[in-house]
Amino acid sequence: MRVKRYVVNALPEAVSMIRMDLGKDAVILDTKEIKVGGFMGMFRKKRMEVIAAVETGASKQGELPQRKPSPEVNAVVEQILQTAQRSGAAAAVMEPPQPQPEPTISDKRMEREQFIINEIRDLREYMVKLSRHQSELHTLSEPMIALKERLFEQELDEEWSDKLIEALRESEQSAERVYDRTEVWNESKRILVEWIRPYSNAEISREARVVHFVGPTGVGKTTTIAKLAAEQTIKRGRNVGFITSDTYRIAAVDQLRTYANILNVPLEVVFSPMDLPKAYKALSERDLILMDTAGRNFRSELHVSEVISLLQSSEPNETVLVLSLTGKTTDMAIIAERFSKFGIQKVLFTKLDETTVYGAIMNLVLKYGLYPTHLASGQNVPDDIERFKAGSYVDLLLGDAEHE
């Protein structure tokens, strides 16, 4: 299907343009009055936005998009609801029965009917949402549909892709024309970079003497600490020391010790918060201490508060949450929320090389106000890590306009 948007003075003007562009089989999907141009919200001109579409060769005749599916959907569901209401179940919805000491057969029937009514209501909400989504798609230009699909595949929250589409439409209105694919991509990049820029260019604080790394099991905390030790030593000229509190896993201490030996960095092992002062004392000559912690199931609030209690320090310190991009977006959001409640603001994403889906970064940054410091993209120490840059990140998220 080809979809095109026209901004005209009156409908007849659009009809002749549609005939010329899309042919005689084209249908008008939507029309609405819009305001364009002007200065600071004043002197805006009234125009008409017309969305038209035509089925391309591959589709069969008679499968043209429905103009307004939602009223029909609503009507069907309404009918089901009314039938249920006539059978007396509606009374159960309006006035739920007071709990009786011994439920009778009719109480049980009412309960069942109420359950069915609620199911139908949920179904109606879902169908209304679905048809709204479909009719929204029908009002979008082809490049905008392609953009929305790309962002959906990238698992960007709908909240942000909707906002982006809204901003693009406003931009088109000011420009008084419909953007082609390259323009949609370029303008999207400009807008997304603007959103994420305030959170980019974060780095390991130059003021912090102790930096703790926390995160779920196996995300790459220990490997990342080794990479950052090299970065901080070589690029920042800082004198680095390691502490690890990961004494849960048998080989964990040895793993960090191997890196410590290669990088010539002293390592202290702590078994409980009581060992920390001794470890800080042993590393008193070091101006940056990177502290490794054990990976835990941080969907559990208990584990989060346990690790937080270990991170108390009288030294200037900060905590970096390490998350792997191979994790599920919903799980990452739960973990980010748990840690952001404790004031953790920095995040570092690993395993960029193992995925092609990048929306989670934007979702977490914008929702929880997290500052990404780096992106890690491989197992090589110290090379596979880079500072987070808004522009290159948005390029990854949007991909190439022509290939989408």
Ligand X SMILES: Nc1nc2c(ncn2[C@@H]2O[C@H](COP(=O)(O)OP(=O)(O)OP(=O)(O)O)[C@@H](O)[C@H]2O)c(=O)[nH]1
Binding site for ligand X (CB under 6 A): 215, 217-223, 246, 249, 252, 294-295, 350-351, 353-354, 376-379, 384
Which one, 187 or 384, has the nearer CB to ligand X? 384
Burial of 291 (0-12, 13-18, 19+ CB in 10 A): buried
Report CA 386 to chain centroid distance, whole Å.
21
| Other Cβ atoms within 10 Å of 148 Cβ, number | 20
The residue (of 73 and 214) whose beta carbon lies closer to Mg ion is 214
Given a contact cutoff of 8 angstroms between Cβ atoms, the answer to whether 270 and 246 are in contact is: no
Pick from 222, 313, 319, 363: which binds Mg ion (CB under 5 A)? 222
Select 186 or 247, whichever has its Cβ closest to Mg ion: 247
Nearer to ligand X, 238 or 303 (CB): 303
From the list ligand X, Mg ion, none, pick the one residue 223 interacts with, judged by a Cβ distance below 5 to 8 Å according to partner type. Answer: ligand X
SS (H, E, C) 123-162: HHHHHHHHHHHHHHHHCCCHHHHHHHHHHHHCCCCHHHHH
Q: Would you say 348 and 214 are in contact if contact means Cβ atoms under 8 Å apart?
A: no
The least distance separating ligand X from the CB of residue 256, rounded to whole angstroms, comes to 9
Closest listed residue to residue 52, CA positions, set 81, 20, 83, 84 = 20
* Residue 376 binding result from ligand X, Mg ion, none, given CB thresholds of 5 to 8 Å by partner type: ligand X
Give the list of residues 6+ apart from residue 251 with CB closer than 8 angstroms, or none. none
Q: How far is the CB of 228 from ligand X (least distance, A)?
A: 12
Question: Does 319 help bind Mg ion (rule: CB under 5 A)?
Answer: no
Take residue 283 and report the two structure tokens written for it.
């590393």
Please report how close the Cβ of residue 219 comes to Mg ion at its closest, in angstroms: 9
The one of ligand X, Mg ion, none whose footprint includes residue 173, by CB under 5 to 8 A per kind, is: none
The answer to whether 242 and 256 are in contact (CB under 8 A) is: yes
224 touches Mg ion (CB under 5 A): no
Q: Which C-beta is closer to Mg ion: that of 322 or that of 325?
A: 322
If the CB atoms of residues 220 and 327 are measured against ligand X, the closer one turns out to be 220
Of 92 and 348, which has the nearer Cβ to ligand X? Answer: 348
How far is residue 310's CA from residue 298's CA, in Å, rounded to a whole number?
A: 14
Q: Minimum distance between the CB of residue 258 and ligand X, rounded to whole angstroms?
A: 11
Q: Which does 186 bind (CB under 5 to 8 A by kind): ligand X, Mg ion, none?
A: none
Q: What is the phi/psi pair of residue 332, to 5°?
A: -60, -40
Choose the one of ligand X, Mg ion, none that binds residue 377, judging by a C-beta under 5 to 8 angstroms depending on kind.
ligand X
Compute the least distance from the CB of residue 341 to ligand X, in Å: 21
Helix (H, G, I), strand (E, B) or coil at 307: helix
* Shorter beta-carbon distance to Mg ion: residue 20 or 250: 250
> Minimum distance between the CB of residue 348 and Mg ion, rounded to whole angstroms?
14
Cβ(54)–Cβ(25) below 8 Å: yes
The alpha carbon of residue 349 and the mean position of all alpha carbons in its chain are separated, in whole angstroms, by 14
Provide the minimum distance between the beta carbon of 307 and ligand X in the complex, in angstroms, as a whole number.
Answer: 11
Q: Which amino acid is at 11?
A: L
For 250, the token pair is 């048998």
Q: How far is the CB of 226 from ligand X (least distance, A)?
A: 8
Interacting partner of 379 out of ligand X, Mg ion, none (Cβ under 5 to 8 A depending on kind):
ligand X
200 interacts with Mg ion by CB under 5 A: no
Question: 89 exposed, middle or buried (CB, 10 Å; 0-12, 13-18, 19+)?
Answer: buried
Number of helical (H) and strand (E) elements in the chain, helices listed first:
14, 11
Q: Which residue, 135 or 258, has its beta carbon nearer to Mg ion?
A: 258
350 near Mg ion, judged by CB under 5 A: no
Q: Binds 227, which of Mg ion, ligand X, none (CB < 5 to 8 A, cut-off by type)?
A: none
- What's the number of CA atoms in the CB half-sphere (13 Å) around residue 106? 4
354 contact, one of ligand X, Mg ion, none, CB 5-8 Å limit per kind: ligand X
Of 147 and 252, the one with the shorter C-beta distance to ligand X is: 252
Stretch that binds Mg ion, among 108-116, 168-176, 218-226, 270-278 (CB under 5 A): 218-226
Residue numbers of the site for Mg ion (CB under 5 A)? 221-222
